[in-house]
Amino acid sequence: MRLQWWKILSIILLLYTFIAGLLIPLPYETAYANSNLYESMRNFFFHVPMWFGQLILITVSLVYSILYLRKPNHRYDIIATEFARTGTVMGCLGLLTGAIWANYTWGAAWSNDPKQIGAAIALLIYIAYFVLRNSMPDMDKRSRVAAVYNIFAYFIYIPMIMILPRLTESLHPGGKGNEGNPGLGGSSLDATMETVFWPAVFGWTLLTTWISTLRLRVRILEEKKHSA
């Protein structure tokens, strides 16, 4: 089977991320001279790109759920499901890497920070999406209800992780009153860090898209086998 160029690119980008992410100099002397981040800041190249990739995956899932409601097609439902599934796994990995980082910077893996709570609730909403799907034996009804719920889940997810934490006191970047954490602007993300960060975003996005397409092919083959 021929390996498409974008799959090879995902491997190259992630290899580069792992190597450069562990070796590049970090801006200790500028934004973080008085912080307790130190080498743990390298987690930025993994934690944040995972959430970027997850957001792209669930956005693709949203689009196919909308397409299904406009013109019911079982293929749309499968695509929406598999991209949501991979996106949920990536979200769990993002939450895990965030907890590891928080343990070093905030002193505890879980601090009941608004960003942590919002992310956890958002992931539970997506997990409920799969519970809902599995509770309905009728395929057409399951696809319709799941598509509506997926749209609901997406527009609850965005405020939970991107808006609400900015309105409350939070240790996390973007929250009110946060200190000593790298964000996506200003001196916290210097030019050297950008050379690793953006390749990491594209690498994780391509890899998770690859995984989603593999899951999609398996689902299609399974359904063909059952219908034969």
Phi-psi group of 38: left, alpha or beta (phi > 0 → left; psi -120 to 50 → alpha; rest → beta): left
Position 114 confidence tier, pLDDT thresholds 50, 70, 90: confident
CB-based contact 129:84 (threshold 8 Å): yes
Residue 35 lies in a domain: no
Domain that holds residue 120: 45-227
Query: 181 falls in which pLDDT band (50, 70, 90)?
Result: very low
29-37, Cβ contacts within 8 angstroms, sequence gap of 24 or more? 30/187, 30/190, 31/182, 31/186, 31/187, 31/188, 32/180, 32/182, 34/180, 35/105, 35/179, 35/180, 35/181, 36/104, 36/105, 36/180, 37/104, 37/105, 37/180, 37/181, 37/182
Q: So what's the pLDDT on residue 173?
A: 60
The pLDDT > 70 percentage for the chain reads: 83
Q: Does residue 18 contact residue 11 with C-beta atoms inside 8 Å?
A: no
What pLDDT is attached to residue 184? 54
Q: Is 11 domain-assigned?
A: no
Question: For residue 1, is it within any domain?
Answer: no
Q: Is residue 7 one of the residues assigned to a domain?
A: no
Tens digit of each residue's pLDDT (9 = 90 or more) over 85-100: 999 999 999 999 999 9
Q: What pLDDT sits at residue 161?
A: 82
> Taking a C-beta distance cutoff of 8 angstroms, is the pair 24, 197 a contact?
no
Identify whether 2 is part of a domain.
no
Does 129 reside within a domain? yes
Contact call for residues 150 and 156 (beta carbons, < 8 A): no
Distances, alpha carbon 125 to alpha carbons 36, 107, 173, in Å: 33, 28, 23
Total domains in the chain come to 1
Mean pLDDT of the chain: 85
Instruction: Return d(Cα 128, Cα 131) in angstroms, integer.
Output: 5
Query: In this structure, is residue 221 part of a structural domain?
Result: yes
Q: Please indicate, yes or no, if residue 16 is contained in any of the structural domains.
A: no
pLDDT surpassing 70 at residue 119 = yes
Torsion region of 181: left, alpha or beta (phi above 0 gives left; psi -120 to 50 gives alpha): beta
- pTM value? 0.87
